[in-house]
Amino acid sequence: MMRETIPSIRTTISAMDSHPHVLVGDIFAYESWAIAEELGIPKYLFVTGTAWFTALFTYSPLLDKQVVGQYVDKKEPLEIPGCTPVRPDEVVDPMLNRDDENYAVYLSQAIGVTLADGMLINTWEDLEPQTLNALRTNEILRSVVKYKPVYTVGPVNKRYEPDGLKGEVVEWLGKQPDRSVIYVSFGSEGTISAEQINELAWGLELSRQRFVWVVRPPNGHVSDGSFFKPGQSDTTRDYLPEGFLTRTQKVGLVVSSWAPQVEILNHTSVAVFLTHCGWNSTLESVTNGVPMIAWPLYAEQKMNAAMLTEELKVAVRPEVLPTKKVVGREEVARMVMNLVEGEEGKVMKIKVDMLKEGAENAIRENGSSYISICKFIEDCWSQIK
């Protein structure tokens, strides 16, 4: 898809009175590096995910040569020099089947992005010190990224900006006690099966906790997936347990398809976020100090869930990956109650508040990301001159 847009990008730039001085693109835009070469300007990769994902991604072409057979069949975690190993069943989606054409595309991307003059990563120094150090000092990883500089620029995510307007969800939250509500959303593209929606609904009801749930139509066939059909006319009543909305009307609010997530996570009544672990949603939760129930569905979300639960310890997750098995109502209820009412939730709240403070410090003047962005700008100017 990106390849098809290259001619129009080239035409647009040619029509400008003055051409750009620097080109920044994400992992899908690496083919646009050719335009930067034509213009004689520096080109930089912006990784919207973690440094850990960046390490796996750029190291994948070497893994491809080292590992025989399917990654998912391996018993031991996949080693990345200087980084936390990745469990075979938690690799990014294209690595799940090496015979699929998407895997070949993934490897091409992994090679192509390293031709950039440097990498900007949506993280900060205190969040992933080990991985960032490996990307900068481990000889194998440094050679993989062609000895290019690594800049931490995160957290880059939408911030809460009060506008005085209150929609239905925010008004409802305003009537609830502090730290009493679980917010459930699988992002703008995530969907779960009808069976999983049913179990999740029963779990929320059994927990007896207040909730806001953004419900989207089920994918119908598998336990996880992506849903790209805006304008669906299905009503939530069609795929929730019979009587659920009536029984929970005093403690819950069901929203169809979309809700103002940043405003919700910023609200004092919200205690927990049940999330698909997309990195944007994860950052929004962290920067608002909200512990999580990690429910990864696709892409690199399983890696994000592992980092949140095992390393950062600001989330819990089901015993079995939701992509492998429907999570039962009893387990849903237990996780919700533990985080909203239990000691586990209190401990995680302290930890996530520390991460929130670290994120705020990183982007302040003279913070680590502030300094890194200044260094990036300085390096760009040196190449332009």
pLDDT tens column, 190-224? 889 999 999 999 999 999 999 999 998 897 644 44
Do residue 41 and residue 92 come from a single domain?
Answer: yes
Q: Return the ∠ at Cα 144 (arms to 109 and 369), rounded to 5°.
A: 85
pLDDT confidence of residue 383? 85
Q: 226 forms bridges with which residues in the sheet?
A: 190
Query: Band of the pLDDT at 78, cuts 50, 70, 90?
Result: very high
pLDDT confidence of residue 129? 98
**Mean pLDDT within 355-363:** 98
Q: Is residue 373 part of a domain?
A: no
Do residue 215 and residue 310 come from a single domain?
Answer: yes
Do residue 239 and residue 334 come from a single domain?
Answer: yes
> Residue 252: which domain range?
168-361
**Mean pLDDT within 52-56:** 99
Do residue 69 and residue 132 come from a single domain?
Answer: yes
Q: What is the pLDDT of residues 110-141, one digit of tens each?
A: 999 999 999 999 999 999 999 999 999 999 99
Q: Is residue 186 part of a domain?
A: yes
Query: Which CATH number fits the domain that encloses residue 65?
Result: 3.40.50.2000
Do residue 122 and residue 210 come from a single domain?
Answer: no
Contact 52, 71 (CB under 8 A): no
Q: What is the pLDDT of residues 256-300, one digit of tens each?
A: 878 999 999 999 999 999 999 999 999 999 999 999 999 999 999
Q: Is residue 379 part of a domain?
A: no
* Residue 70 CA neighbour count, 13 Å, CB half: 9
Query: Band of the pLDDT at 304, cuts 50, 70, 90?
Result: very high
pLDDT above 90: residue 226: no
Do residue 185 and residue 283 come from a single domain?
Answer: yes
- Domain C-terminal end among 120, 153, 186: 153
- Residues 6 or more apart whose CB falls under 8 angstroms from that of 248 comprise 204, 205, 211
Percentage, residues of the chain above pLDDT 70? 93
Query: Band of the pLDDT at 235, cuts 50, 70, 90?
Result: low
pLDDT confidence of residue 123? 99
- Number of structural domains found in the chain: 2
pLDDT confidence of residue 229? 35
Ranges 138-142, 169-173, 235-239: which has the least confidence: 235-239
Instruction: Give SS3 for 350.
Output: helix
Do residue 131 and residue 209 come from a single domain?
Answer: no
Do residue 237 and residue 324 come from a single domain?
Answer: yes
Q: Quickly tell me which residue has 């976020």 as its tokens.
A: 273
Q: Is residue 371 part of a domain?
A: no
pLDDT above 80: residue 232: no
Contact 210, 172 (CB under 8 A): no
Long-range contacts of 275-279 (CB under 8 A, 24+ apart): 275/185, 275/186, 275/187, 276/185, 276/186, 276/187, 276/190, 276/301, 277/301, 277/302, 277/304, 277/305, 277/308, 278/187, 278/190, 278/304, 279/48, 279/49, 279/50, 279/122, 279/304
The average confidence (pLDDT) of the chain is 92
For the chain, give percent helix, strand, coil, nearest 5: 45, 10, 40
